[in-house]
Each structure stands twice: as C-alpha cells, then as structure tokens.
Amino acid sequence: MDKIIIEIRAGAGGDEAGLFAFELWRMYRRFAERRSFKTEVIDSSQSNVGGIKTLVAQISAKGGSASGGEGSDVYDLFKYESGVHRVQRIPETEKSGRIHTSTVSVAILKEVPEKEVIISPKDIKIDTFRSSGPGGQNVNKVETAIRITHLPTGIVVVSQTQRSQSQNRERAMAILRAKLAETEKEKALGQITSERKAQIGSAERVEKIRTYNFSQDRITDHRIGKSWHNMGKILDGNIEPIIEALNFALAK
C-alpha cells in the first residue's frame, strides 16, 4: 500500500498533550522524509502554545511505489502506530517539578481506490468554508475548504490545505473512503468496538500502546513488553528499531 492517512489527536493532558502531539507528528514526518516518502498535511488545528489539537495528513511513496526497503510499504511501516501514546514528563511551565501524564491518539488508515468503496451522493453533506491554513491568498479569501459529513455513520472529514475546492473535495473523499473501509473491516472482524477504541479511543490515560518516559529516557511498547532508550534520537525520526520489533512480534 503506497498511501496512508494518519490522524493525530491530543487527548488527556491539555497543552502538554498538544505539544507532544506535535512532537509525534515531527517524528513520523522525519522518519517518512528519510525514506523519501511524501508528507502532506490535509487538515490541522493548533493549540495556543504551539501544539497540535488535531492533525490529518497523507504519507505516500513518491512515484506511486514504496521505497521503504525490501518487502515493506508505507502502511506496513506505520500500521502498528495506531493507538494511544502516553507521555510522562515535567512540563517547562511546571515549577514544582511534578511529572505530568498526557496522551495522544494516533490512527493509521489505508487509502483505498474509489471503486472499492462506493459512496452515494445522497449519503453525504458537503459544506464549504474559508481555509485557516497556509496556501496563499486564494486559500484564505475564497471558500476552498471542504467539510464532508457521511450521514449514515456521522463521520466528518475536512480538507483545507489544497488550493482549489475541487482538490480539497477529492482529498476529503479519499479520507472518507479510508474511514469507511476501516469501519467495514472492523465489522467483518467482529471487533468494531475494541479496534475503533484502539484506533481513536477516548485517549484516556489507561488506554495506551506505548509510554514515553522522559525522566528515565525510556520508550516502552506495552504490546510486546519491550523498551528502548536514547529517546531524543527516536523522536528525531529514528523509529526503525521499534517498527522492526513490532513487525517481528505482531506480524506472526
């Protein structure tokens, strides 16, 4: 699979969760760029302190083929990142030195061809609005941004970073198809409650796949019970050791 949609949402922890959401996105972006993947933000909202409330982006292999190494593609490299990531650290604004616990949820969705997920026009509501993101004067003066609501499921998707309304509509429909395909897959597996909770979740502190403990310079993945140190290097995009360990342990 040479394209994925990644959703990152700040959960419990207020501003600190938003700041860590930004750090996770930076980690994934740098990892993708090192593998010559293309990253493109589709929709995002920032917090007051420079963090991320929500971010939706596309990561794709340039030229339509995966370049992530032999036997790997974009989805295979990112698929085990879905779930709630917990961070434990002392915020810069914390004067008493108390460690705070915050959470960020990550969802990885496959992009699917249009012919695989048929969406009836009567099942969607389309709204347009002015983009609040980058993209030049045209983006901010004209209602180029698109919000699509899928009426049967209540799923809402937004695209506002493309220069034209038609481009944003195309991108939003791609996200909607990915979400509907994921929902159908979960239903088929009989795990729609547990898997969706793992994908997006309520981002409560108890729902976690991984913990980033800054004071101990340790990242622990709770699904396989393995830890890694040198957190700064990993957060700079060097997540291969984690990906390789997860694929070895969970892909059996």
Model confidence at 6, in pLDDT bands (50, 70, 90)?
very high
Q: Using 50, 70 and 90 to split pLDDT, how confident is the model at 246?
A: very high
**Average pLDDT along the chain:** 81
Q: Which of 162, 189, 216 is the last residue of a domain?
A: 189
CATH number at residue 176: 3.30.160.20
Q: Which residues form the domain of 41?
A: 3-111+192-250
CATH number at residue 20: 3.30.70.1660
My answer on whether 25 and 78 are in the same domain is yes
Confidence band (pLDDT; 50, 70, 90) for 25?
A: very high
Q: What is the DSSP string of 59-92?
A: EEEGGGS--SSTT--HHHHHGGG-EEEEEEE--T
Q: Which of 161, 147, 132, 182 is nearest to 4 (CA)?
A: 182
Same domain (yes/no): 93, 36: yes
Query: Are 96 and 147 part of one and the same domain?
Result: no
Q: For residues 126 and 47, which has the higher predicted lDDT (pLDDT)?
A: 126
157 and 36 both lie in a single domain: no
Residues 185 and 197 in one domain: no
Please tell me whether residues 10 and 87 are part of one structural domain. yes
Segment 50-107, tens digit of pLDDT = 788 889 999 988 765 444 443 458 888 998 999 999 999 887 766 667 788 899 999 9
pLDDT at residue 190 in the model? 61
Which one, of 106, 89, 107, lies nearest residue 97 by Cα?
A: 89
Are residues 144 and 52 located together in one domain of the fold? no
